[in-house]
A and B are shown apart, each in its own frame.
Chain A
């Protein structure tokens, strides 16, 4: 992937740089935190349409990602499904796919509401996860 240039891309790069062993749980946590923040601001429908679109775009590069979720299912089910698919892949591929999906999601959001506001929402969503990051990783970008 290209070097992250925009602030929201740098935040995602820093978030996924840790790569703990349990990718499924980590990815689910990332998405649940993100969903909580985004749904608060743009509503469930807003989040669903963004998630669906980013999954659709990601599938062009990563064919093994889960199919588009049904809007009727709760988000937790979508993320669980995503986790199951990630855990079956080699760690490097799984992390790359997770990073891609998050980046696509944030890119679409940023194209609608701008990089700064998107970055602010991401920081708010992953405050705890980013806190546990060494500060250097963000600075390095």
Chain B
């Protein structure tokens, strides 16, 4: 017989946050929203409050010292979630500054308790808790008294049958005020990190009792609509990189290329197209999307090298206009991979897309905030895993400096991320630069080992002859072996 308590999980109204919490905020939990100044604590609290508060589910928001209430109300009104009709009807603001200045914790506690008793809220917020701590220091209170205050407040909040929040400024999640960290059922930690000239906001659910949060730091943005969290993609144990949820093969839309791949690119695979600048990677990517459109498969492209207005070519423009291909906005230079992944997944779901192009990894890396570049490969791995697990087939292009002294497929060692690799090179033959390509790898499939010439024409890529008579093609200076030269003579 099971009489276990069922915990109701509240939907916070902050996009992405409920996923991070492991399904929502446990009702009647006592939570700490902590972070550095300007990290978005009050905005997060207000967004949750305005999303959840209604006449039969009221919220009480205590403001202590810190940000003056007038300013808080003034600036929070700028967010779209701030609904002035809810103020007084479902939300009540109470200022405790005077009570705190008197320095009597018991009085502050009894004032909070009295207001809660009178208003009977379902949600209680105390902003900012740090000022209570600072006030205690100022008055040279001893730590045990403060700890007792925090614990009593925590206990009170638990017994009110209200979901409660303390909002506080802290330099780090594990510093001196540990009492509150112990008592809290949930701890959300907000930071803003600057690296070189870019600033990135991150959120961590340090602790949440009774449910599994998504661990680690996750990026979020604050816009006119408030916070939006982009939960970091994490490869699940049963999630394979490549070919997870799809079967069959997809055509590349270039005559002869499917045969070279052993019958087309296996669906759900990630194909890395590597080549120097101008070798035809984007044209190949466009053919891939156009062929998808022809077969009734929609596509999504994240084009990092050009702005959406000057899309790569006319054919792609037409695909976009016809609604066959969706374009991800990639203008910002402080993106996180998770944000891009979020946008991609949203558009894939909306368009029911089957094909995705990321053009190019080099451009993508440039568009990221510098601190994400450091873990580009790891994040890319997670992103590819997430996308392929949805059954989409991905084409990633990667710029490769045309060095003829070594044979590399990617500047990020990203070759291991890809299920299939296609390399394009320039070679010098008879005083001309010619384009060649080869299929290097198609995981779990037979494929051609040929190196083939190709041309870019008005109709796209046209595959040419095999270069079977040459040696050393990938050095850039192919030579006809001596024995063949003699035979020729």
Contacts and interface: CB of A to CB of B under 8 A. Distances in A.
B77 interface: yes
B403 to A, nearest CB: 62
B74 A113 contact: yes
A43 B77 contact: no
A77 interface: no
Nearest to A121: B88
B68 A40 contact: no
Contacts of B73: 41-42, 112-113, 117
Contacts of B69: 41-43, 46
A43 B94 CA distance: 8
Interface string A95-121: 000000000000001001110110011
A22 to B, nearest CB: 29
A124 B92 CA distance: 11
B84 A40 contact: no
Interface in A29-47: 39-46
Given A39-B95, A117-B73, A46 B87 contact: no
B160 to A, nearest CB: 19
Contacts of A114: 74, 77, 84
A109 B88 CA distance: 16
Given A120-B84, A120-B87, A121-B88, A46 B95 contact: yes
Interface in B61-105: 63, 68-71, 73-74, 77, 84-85, 87-88, 92-98
Interface residues of B, number: 19
Contacts of A112: 70-71, 73-74
A43 B88 contact: no
Contacts of B74: 112-114
Contacts of B96: 43
Contacts of A121: 88
B70 A113 contact: yes
Contact of B95 (A40, A116, A117, A124): A40
A127 to B, nearest CB: 10
A40 B88 contact: no
B97 A43 contact: yes
Contact of B68 (A46, A109, A116, A124): A46
Nearest to A40: B94
B68 A113 contact: no
Contact of A43 (B85, B87, B92, B98): B98
A44 B93 contact: no
B70 A46 contact: yes
27 contacts: A39-B95, A39-B98, A40-B92, A40-B95, A41-B73, A41-B93, A41-B94, A41-B95, A42-B95, A43-B63, A43-B95, A43-B96, A43-B98, A45-B97, A45-B98, A112-B71, A112-B74, A113-B70, A113-B77, A116-B84, A116-B85, A117-B73, A117-B77, A117-B84, A117-B87, A120-B88, A124-B88
Interface of B: 63, 68-71, 73-74, 77, 84-85, 87-88, 92-98
